[in-house]
Chain A
Amino acid sequence: MIKFPHIKCLLRQPRLWLFMVLLSCCVSPAWSGNSAEYQFKAAFLYNFTTYTEWPAETGSTLNMCIYGQDSFGDDLDKLQGKTVGDRQLSVQRINELNRLADCQIIFIARSANDELPQLLNTVKGKPVLTVADTPGAASLGVILNMGTYGNRVTFEANLASARSNGLRLSSKLLKLATQVLR
Chain B
Amino acid sequence: MNKLRLLGALLPSHCQPWQWLESEHLLSIIPGFRYGFMGLLKTELRRFQTGTVYALLGAAMLGATTAQAATDLFQLSLEELLSMEITSVSKKGQPLSEAAAAIYVITQDDIRRSGMTTIPELLRMVPGLHVAQIDANKWAISSRGFNGRWANKLLVLIDGRSLYTPLFSGVYWDIQDTLLEDIERIEVIRGPGGSLWGANAVNGVINIITKHSRDTQGGLVTARAGNGEKSASMRHGSALGGNGWFRAYAKTVDHDNFVDSNEDDSYDDWNQQRAGFRADWEPTTQDTLTLQGDIYKGDSNQETGYLADLLSTATFEQDTIKQDGGNLLFRWRRTLEEGSEFELQTYFDHAERKDITLGQKIDTFDLDLQHRFQATEFHEISWGLGYRIIDDDIDSTFTVSFDPATRHTEVYSAFIQDEIRLRDNLRLTMGSKFEHNDFTGFEYQPSARLLWLASQEHTFWGALSRAVRTPARTDEDIRINIVSFSSPFVDPDGPGPLPVGATSLLSILGNKQVKSEEVIAFELGYRGQPRSDISLDISAFYNDYDNLVTGETSFLLETTPAPDHALIARSFDNQLQGVSYGLELVTSWQVNSNWRLHGGYTWQKLDMKLDSTSTDVNNAGDREDTNPEQQFQLRSHWDINDKLELDVALYFVDSIKPRDSTGLVNVPSYERLDMRIAWQPEKNLELSLAGQNLLDDQHPEYFSSDISPTEVPRTLYAQIKYLFE
Q: A residues engaging B (CB < 8 A)?
A: 1-17, 19-21, 24-25, 27-33, 35-37, 39-40, 42-44, 46-47, 50-51, 78-79, 82-83, 148-154, 171-173, 175-176
Kindly state whether residue B14 has any CB partner on chain A within 8 Å: yes
Q: Is the CB of B214 within 8 A of A149?
A: yes
Q: Given A4, A78, A173, A176, which contacts B74 in the complex, CB threshold below 8 Å?
A: A78
A4 smallest CB distance to B (angstroms) = 6
Point out the residues of chain A lying under 8 angstroms from B20, CB to CB: 5-7
CA distance in complex: A65, B664 (Å): 67
A18 smallest CB distance to B (angstroms) = 8
Q: Given B10, B282, B421, B546, which contacts A16 in the complex, CB threshold below 8 Å?
A: B10
CA distance in complex: A37, B12 (Å): 48
Q: Is the CB of B424 within 8 A of A32?
A: yes
Minimum CB distance partner of A78 in chain B:
B456
Of residues 62 to 83 in B, which have CB atoms within 8 Å of A's CB atoms? 72-74, 76-79, 81-83
Q: Is the CB of A148 within 8 A of B378?
A: no
Q: Is the CB of B31 within 8 A of A2?
A: yes
Of residues 56 to 104 in B, which have CB atoms within 8 Å of A's CB atoms? 72-74, 76-79, 81-87, 93-95
CA distance in complex: A91, B301 (Å): 62
Closest 10 CB pairs of A and B: A6-B20, A31-B421, A43-B73, A17-B446, A151-B85, A9-B15, A29-B422, A47-B78, A15-B10, A24-B430
Point out the residues of chain A lying under 8 angstroms from B379, CB to CB: 25
Q: Mark B544-568, 1 if CB is under 8 A from A, else 0.
A: 1010000000000000000000000
Cross-chain pairs A/B with CB under 8 angstroms, 12 sampled? A1-B609, A8-B544, A17-B444, A17-B466, A19-B7, A21-B418, A31-B377, A31-B422, A39-B73, A43-B81, A47-B78, A152-B83
Q: Is the CB of A12 within 8 A of B421?
A: no
CA distance in complex: A53, B428 (Å): 43
Point out the residues of chain B lying under 8 angstroms from A43, CB to CB: 72-74, 76, 81
Point out the residues of chain A lying under 8 angstroms from B12, CB to CB: 13
Q: Is the CB of B81 within 8 A of A47?
A: yes
B226 smallest CB distance to A (angstroms) = 29
Q: Is the CB of B448 within 8 A of A4?
A: no
A36-B10 contact in complex given A17-B432, A82-B74, C-beta closer than 8 Å: no
Tell me which of B81, B212, B642 has the highest count of chain A C-beta atoms within 10 A of its own C-beta: B81
Point out the residues of chain B lying under 8 angstroms from A4, CB to CB: 25, 29, 544
Q: Given B93, B423, B430, B431, which contacts A30 in the complex, CB threshold below 8 Å?
A: B423
B476 smallest CB distance to A (angstroms) = 23
Query: Told that A33-B424, A82-B74, A175-B683 touch, could you supply 16 new A-B pairs with CB distance under 8 A?
Result: A2-B607, A4-B544, A6-B19, A7-B20, A8-B544, A11-B466, A12-B520, A15-B10, A21-B430, A31-B422, A36-B86, A40-B86, A42-B73, A46-B74, A148-B86, A152-B86
B590 smallest CB distance to A (angstroms) = 10
Point out the residues of chain B lying under 8 angstroms from A32, CB to CB: 424
Of residues 565 to 615 in B, which have CB atoms within 8 Å of A's CB atoms? 578-579, 593, 607, 609
A6-B15 contact in complex given A17-B432, A148-B86, C-beta closer than 8 Å: yes
A37-B77 contact in complex given A9-B14, A25-B379, A29-B378, C-beta closer than 8 Å: no
Point out the residues of chain A lying under 8 angstroms from B518, CB to CB: 12
Point out the residues of chain B lying under 8 angstroms from A21, CB to CB: 416, 418, 430-432, 446
Kindly state whether residue B723 has any CB partner on chain A within 8 Å: no
Minimum CB distance partner of A45 in chain B:
B74
Q: Is the CB of A29 within 8 A of B423?
A: yes
Q: Is the CB of A24 within 8 A of B418?
A: yes
Q: Given A12, A16, A28, which contacts B378 in the complex, CB threshold below 8 Å?
A: A28
Point out the residues of chain B lying under 8 angstroms from A8, CB to CB: 520, 544, 546
Kindly state whether residue B23 has any CB partner on chain A within 8 Å: yes
CA distance in complex: A35, B520 (Å): 34
A44-B19 contact in complex given A5-B25, A31-B421, C-beta closer than 8 Å: no
A168 smallest CB distance to B (angstroms) = 14
Minimum CB distance partner of A17 in chain B:
B446
Kindly state whether residue B420 has any CB partner on chain A within 8 Å: yes
A50-B593 contact in complex given A37-B86, A43-B76, A152-B85, C-beta closer than 8 Å: yes
